[in-house]
Structure 1
Amino acid sequence: MAASASPSASVPERRGIPAASFVEDVQIYLSQIGLDVNSALAFLQERLQQYRVVEMKLLAQQRDLQAKIPDIEKCLDVVATLQAKKGTGEALTADFEVSEGIYSRAHVEDTDSVCLWLGANVMLEYSREEAMALLQKNLENAKASLEVLVADLQFLRDQVTITQVMVAFSLYILGSF
């Protein structure tokens, strides 16, 4: 049996995540690259550990984005409500979170600007139109980033599966000797 894939025949990487190569005949492949089974097994185990570290980082980024998107959507809703009440003379009554679990009620009169938290204890004042545009852009960017992260995680899971199969093949060969 010939090797079904070589490292150069597969996708080299995705956004810094190295691709795993699936090889049908591990013995022929190992002889071609000049490694013994133990060295190959050690390399594969190390690669699995690297994949797990990357997966933990990607999952943390995914959780952060999944938490950020609803916050951005809430801000967009509030600014849209302010925009809708513009010129009506009607005050907006809203409950907002001051601190975790502590809320306050506010009566917001007709205003032309809003303040947005940008992070790192920075707040800037924007016109309602600028705030809507900024929040919409941030929402689109967060959703696009989440899509990329999901694709990266799927690619990573595929690489983990391929590497685990290669470890199993290597262990089988090691047991055969």
Structure 2
Amino acid sequence: MAETSSSSEVKERRGIPAAEFVEDVHTYLNQSGLDVNSALAFLQERLQQYKLAEMKLLAQQRDLQAKIPDIEKCLDIVATLQARKATGEPLIADFEVSEGIYSRACIGEADSVCLWLGANVMLEYSCEEAKALLQKNLENAKASLDVLVGDLQFLRDQVTITQVTIARVYNWDVHQRRQQQIASGSDKDA
């Protein structure tokens, strides 16, 4: 059977190194210059690195998944303000002042809105500018989420390949030890 590796094979994705699928353990050990225990230790360490990277990516994914509905909600509020301005009808809104404390406000014609940008920074934007900024932020967040999902899939594939490689190296070692026991047992009989 021909080897399936090619020069176009993915070597990494956004800093995540690709795991090498080991077809022949003996050749792998000879080419890497490692003994079985060193190879297993290296592979276990790589597996732990993948798991740590996966935890970080999952945290980023959770943050983005929480951020997207917030941005969409802000876009809806800006659209509502613009619609109310066109009709001249005031908007009655309840908003949270502090945790568990709400207040009611009557918002007349609003030409601008204030957006939290983070790091205790709030800026005032016209409704049109706010809508454009929020739309851009929403598109960026969705694009980032798509990239993260791809990264997570790539990472899960690398974890699987590494786990299979660990099992193959371990099983190869067990097989070699059995062969040595059989060979040394037949030497004693002779």
TM-score bucket of the superposed structures, by smaller chain: over 0.9
Over the matched positions of the two proteins, sequence identity in percent amounts to: 78
1:53-68 map, 5 Å:
53-68=52-67
SS in 1 for 2:165: helix
Q: Residues of 2 paired with 1:67 and 1:166: CA distance?
A: 36
User: Structure 1: any 5+ residue segments left out of the alignment?
Assistant: none
- Conserved 8 A contact 2:85-2:108: no
Q: Residues of 1 paired with 2:40 and 2:5: CA distance?
A: 18
SS in 2 for 1:96: strand
Do residues 113 (structure 1) and 112 (structure 2) align?
Answer: yes
Counterpart residue number, 1:104: 103
> Are the structure 2 counterparts of residues 166 and 4 from structure 1 closer, same or farther at C-alpha, using a change threshold of 3 Å?
farther
Deviation at 1:43, TM superposition (A): 0.6
Deviation at 1:39, TM superposition (A): 1.1
SS in 2 for 1:95: strand
Q: Residues of 2 paired with 1:3 and 1:34: CA distance?
A: 21
- Conserved 8 A contact 2:21-2:165: yes
Q: How many residues align?
A: 176
User: Structure 2: any 5+ residue segments left out of the alignment?
Assistant: 178-190
TM-score (norm 2): 0.86
| Deviation readout 1:98-133 (Å, 9 max, x if unpaired) | 333333222111011000000111100000000000
TM-score (norm 1): 0.93
Higher helix share: 2
Deviation at 1:29, TM superposition (A): 1.8
What amino acid sits opposite 1:117 in the alignment?
Answer: W
1:141-160 map, 5 Å:
141-160=140-159
Do residues 17 (structure 1) and 13 (structure 2) align?
Answer: no
SS in 1 for 2:10: coil
Q: Residues of 2 paired with 1:108 and 1:152: CA distance?
A: 44
Comparing 142-151 with 35-44, greater Cα deviation is found at 35-44
| Deviation readout 1:82-108 (Å, 9 max, x if unpaired) | 111114221111122233333322211
